[in-house]
Amino acid sequence: MGIIVKGEITITKGFQIWKDIVYAQDVKLKEHGIKFLFAGKKKIQPNFT
């Protein structure tokens, strides 16, 4: 069985930094049965790298 969770957070140091931090925890997430399927940003955030 799978559950898809959609959430919104405020990122203050840039999307790539956040993404690197999340994926650095991949082993720990897998231990709990968690896997990120997609991470993205809104198109209206042009300076958000």
What is the mean pLDDT for each group of 10 consecutive residues in the chain (49 residues)? Answer: 78 84 88 81 62
Q: Specify whether the CB–CB gap between 15 and 41 falls below 8 A.
A: yes
Nearest alpha carbon to residue 41 among 5, 4, 10, 1: 10
Domain parsing of the chain, residue ranges: 13-49
Q: What is the pLDDT of residue 31?
A: 92
Q: What is the pLDDT of residue 12?
A: 85
Q: What is the pLDDT of residue 48?
A: 57
Q: What is the pLDDT of residue 39?
A: 74
The pTM (predicted TM-score) of the whole model is 0.53
Q: Measured between alpha carbons, how far is residue 49 from residues 4, 8, 21, 45 in Å?
A: 25, 16, 14, 9
Q: What is the pLDDT of residue 3?
A: 80
Q: What is the pLDDT of residue 44?
A: 66
